[in-house]
Amino acid sequence: PTPKRLLLLAPAASTLQQKRSGPAKAAADTVPFSPDMPTLSEMTRAAINLLDDDPDGFVLMIEGGAIDWAAHANQTGRMIEELDDFARTVALVERLITDRLGWDRTLLLLTADHETGGLQDGTWTGHRHTGTPVPLLARGKGAASLPALAEAATGLVDNAALGRWLLQQITERPSNEESRHE
Protein backbone atom coordinates (compact mmCIF):
# COMPACT_ATOMS: atom_id res chain seq x y z
CA PRO A 1 0.00 0.00 0.00
CA THR A 2 1.02 3.59 -0.61
CA PRO A 3 2.04 5.43 2.56
CA LYS A 4 0.09 8.54 3.57
CA ARG A 5 3.33 10.51 3.89
CA LEU A 6 6.85 9.88 2.73
CA LEU A 7 10.10 11.55 3.77
CA LEU A 8 13.24 10.48 1.92
CA LEU A 9 16.50 11.59 3.47
CA ALA A 10 19.92 11.18 1.92
CA PRO A 11 22.86 10.26 4.16
CA ALA A 12 24.05 13.88 4.33
CA ALA A 13 24.15 16.60 6.96
CA SER A 14 23.31 19.45 4.60
CA THR A 15 23.53 18.86 0.84
CA LEU A 16 24.02 15.96 -1.56
CA GLN A 17 27.12 17.15 -3.41
CA GLN A 18 27.58 20.91 -2.98
CA LYS A 19 29.59 20.63 0.26
CA ARG A 20 31.61 17.56 -0.74
CA SER A 21 35.36 17.49 -0.14
CA GLY A 22 37.76 19.06 -2.63
CA PRO A 23 38.25 22.61 -3.86
CA ALA A 24 34.89 24.32 -3.36
CA LYS A 25 35.46 26.89 -6.10
CA ALA A 26 36.69 24.45 -8.76
CA ALA A 27 35.16 24.43 -12.23
CA ALA A 28 32.06 22.31 -12.74
CA ASP A 29 32.58 18.54 -13.01
CA THR A 30 36.27 18.61 -12.02
CA VAL A 31 35.97 17.42 -8.40
CA PRO A 32 34.79 13.79 -8.03
CA PHE A 33 31.27 13.44 -6.67
CA SER A 34 30.61 11.66 -3.36
CA PRO A 35 30.07 8.08 -4.61
CA ASP A 36 27.46 6.89 -2.09
CA MET A 37 25.16 9.89 -2.40
CA PRO A 38 21.98 9.62 -4.47
CA THR A 39 21.24 12.27 -7.07
CA LEU A 40 18.14 14.43 -6.93
CA SER A 41 16.74 12.57 -9.93
CA GLU A 42 17.35 9.16 -8.29
CA MET A 43 15.51 10.27 -5.16
CA THR A 44 12.72 11.72 -7.30
CA ARG A 45 12.31 8.48 -9.25
CA ALA A 46 12.15 6.51 -5.99
CA ALA A 47 9.48 8.82 -4.59
CA ILE A 48 7.33 8.69 -7.73
CA ASN A 49 7.71 4.90 -7.99
CA LEU A 50 6.41 4.60 -4.44
CA LEU A 51 3.63 7.18 -4.68
CA ASP A 52 2.25 6.80 -8.20
CA ASP A 53 -0.02 3.84 -7.48
CA ASP A 54 -2.20 5.80 -5.05
CA PRO A 55 -5.67 6.05 -6.64
CA ASP A 56 -6.20 9.46 -5.00
CA GLY A 57 -3.03 10.87 -6.55
CA PHE A 58 -0.20 12.53 -4.69
CA VAL A 59 1.62 15.80 -4.11
CA LEU A 60 5.40 15.73 -4.38
CA MET A 61 7.65 18.69 -3.63
CA ILE A 62 11.18 18.44 -4.98
CA GLU A 63 13.73 21.11 -4.15
CA GLY A 64 17.10 21.76 -5.73
CA GLY A 65 18.10 23.74 -2.66
CA ALA A 66 21.86 23.46 -3.08
CA ILE A 67 21.66 25.71 -6.14
CA ASP A 68 21.04 28.54 -3.67
CA TRP A 69 23.74 27.39 -1.27
CA ALA A 70 26.35 27.27 -4.03
CA ALA A 71 25.27 30.70 -5.30
CA HIS A 72 25.55 32.21 -1.81
CA ALA A 73 29.06 30.75 -1.51
CA ASN A 74 30.14 32.06 -4.95
CA GLN A 75 30.79 28.46 -6.02
CA THR A 76 30.01 28.89 -9.70
CA GLY A 77 31.17 25.37 -10.64
CA ARG A 78 29.10 23.69 -7.96
CA MET A 79 26.12 25.91 -8.77
CA ILE A 80 26.33 24.72 -12.40
CA GLU A 81 26.48 21.09 -11.19
CA GLU A 82 23.41 21.63 -9.01
CA LEU A 83 21.55 23.32 -11.88
CA ASP A 84 22.45 20.38 -14.15
CA ASP A 85 21.16 17.90 -11.55
CA PHE A 86 17.92 19.88 -11.22
CA ALA A 87 17.52 20.03 -15.02
CA ARG A 88 17.99 16.24 -15.23
CA THR A 89 15.38 15.85 -12.51
CA VAL A 90 12.86 18.05 -14.33
CA ALA A 91 13.46 16.08 -17.54
CA LEU A 92 12.89 12.82 -15.63
CA VAL A 93 9.64 14.11 -14.13
CA GLU A 94 8.41 15.24 -17.55
CA ARG A 95 9.19 11.78 -19.00
CA LEU A 96 7.42 10.02 -16.14
CA ILE A 97 4.37 12.25 -16.54
CA THR A 98 4.33 11.66 -20.30
CA ASP A 99 4.89 7.90 -20.06
CA ARG A 100 3.02 6.92 -16.88
CA LEU A 101 1.11 9.61 -15.06
CA GLY A 102 -0.51 11.60 -17.88
CA TRP A 103 -0.55 15.36 -18.41
CA ASP A 104 -4.35 15.31 -18.31
CA ARG A 105 -4.25 14.48 -14.60
CA THR A 106 -0.89 15.88 -13.49
CA LEU A 107 0.19 19.46 -12.76
CA LEU A 108 3.90 20.33 -12.80
CA LEU A 109 5.00 23.65 -11.29
CA LEU A 110 8.56 24.96 -11.42
CA THR A 111 9.71 28.02 -9.51
CA ALA A 112 12.25 29.30 -7.02
CA ASP A 113 11.76 30.73 -3.57
CA HIS A 114 13.99 33.70 -4.41
CA GLU A 115 16.74 34.97 -6.66
CA THR A 116 20.25 34.91 -5.23
CA GLY A 117 22.54 37.87 -5.50
CA GLY A 118 22.61 38.49 -9.23
CA LEU A 119 25.79 36.53 -10.01
CA GLN A 120 26.46 38.55 -13.16
CA ASP A 121 30.17 37.77 -12.98
CA GLY A 122 30.02 34.62 -10.86
CA THR A 123 30.09 36.51 -7.57
CA TRP A 124 27.41 37.85 -5.33
CA THR A 125 26.48 41.47 -5.96
CA GLY A 126 24.95 41.84 -2.51
CA HIS A 127 24.65 40.06 0.80
CA ARG A 128 20.93 39.40 0.79
CA HIS A 129 18.31 37.99 -1.51
CA THR A 130 17.48 40.55 -4.14
CA GLY A 131 13.69 40.55 -4.18
CA THR A 132 13.89 40.09 -7.94
CA PRO A 133 10.79 38.24 -9.19
CA VAL A 134 11.39 34.62 -10.14
CA PRO A 135 9.63 32.66 -12.90
CA LEU A 136 6.67 30.41 -12.23
CA LEU A 137 6.25 27.78 -14.92
CA ALA A 138 3.25 25.47 -15.10
CA ARG A 139 2.35 22.57 -17.36
CA GLY A 140 -0.46 20.04 -17.28
CA LYS A 141 -3.85 19.83 -15.63
CA GLY A 142 -5.03 23.26 -14.51
CA ALA A 143 -2.00 25.14 -15.86
CA ALA A 144 -4.09 27.15 -18.32
CA SER A 145 -5.89 28.91 -15.45
CA LEU A 146 -2.68 30.15 -13.79
CA PRO A 147 -2.18 33.29 -15.94
CA ALA A 148 -5.51 34.65 -14.67
CA LEU A 149 -3.87 35.11 -11.25
CA ALA A 150 -1.28 37.56 -12.55
CA GLU A 151 -1.81 41.24 -11.86
CA ALA A 152 -2.48 43.06 -15.13
CA ALA A 153 0.00 45.89 -14.55
CA THR A 154 2.97 43.82 -13.38
CA GLY A 155 2.36 40.24 -14.46
CA LEU A 156 3.23 39.19 -10.90
CA VAL A 157 1.30 36.54 -8.96
CA ASP A 158 0.56 37.15 -5.28
CA ASN A 159 1.80 34.26 -3.13
CA ALA A 160 -1.49 34.03 -1.21
CA ALA A 161 -3.48 33.86 -4.45
CA LEU A 162 -1.10 31.17 -5.69
CA GLY A 163 -1.67 29.16 -2.52
CA ARG A 164 -5.45 29.33 -2.91
CA TRP A 165 -5.14 28.39 -6.59
CA LEU A 166 -2.91 25.43 -5.77
CA LEU A 167 -5.34 24.22 -3.11
CA GLN A 168 -8.11 24.41 -5.70
CA GLN A 169 -6.03 22.34 -8.14
CA ILE A 170 -5.33 19.70 -5.50
CA THR A 171 -8.85 19.46 -4.13
CA GLU A 172 -10.65 20.25 -7.42
CA ARG A 173 -13.07 22.58 -5.66
CA PRO A 174 -13.28 26.38 -5.46
CA SER A 175 -11.01 27.95 -2.86
CA ASN A 176 -12.59 31.42 -2.69
CA GLU A 177 -14.04 32.98 0.44
CA GLU A 178 -17.62 32.07 -0.51
CA SER A 179 -16.84 28.36 -0.75
CA ARG A 180 -15.72 28.33 2.90
CA HIS A 181 -19.23 29.26 4.03
CA GLU A 182 -21.23 26.80 1.94
Mean pLDDT of 24-38: 92
Of 104, 110, 106, 71, nearest to 91 by C-alpha is 110
Amino acid letter, residue 75 = Q
CB atoms within 10 A of CB 92: 18
Rg of the Cα trace of the chain? 19
pLDDT (0 to 100) of residue 108: 93
What domains sit in the chain, N to C, each tagged with a CATH number? 1-141 (3.40.720.10), 144-182 (no CATH)
> Which residues, at least 6 apart from 166, have a Cβ–Cβ distance to it below 8 Å?
109
With bands split at pLDDT 50, 70 and 90, how would you rate the model's confidence at 147? Answer: very high
pLDDT at 182 over 60: no
pLDDT (0 to 100) of residue 124: 65
Q: For the whole model, what pTM was predicted?
A: 0.82
pLDDT (0 to 100) of residue 121: 64
pLDDT at 122 over 70: no
SS3 111: strand
Contact 37, 11 (CB under 8 A): yes
How does pLDDT run across 60-107, given as a tens digit for each residue? 889 888 888 888 888 889 999 999 999 999 999 999 999 999 999 899
Per-residue DSSP letter, 149: G
Q: Average pLDDT of the chain? A: 84
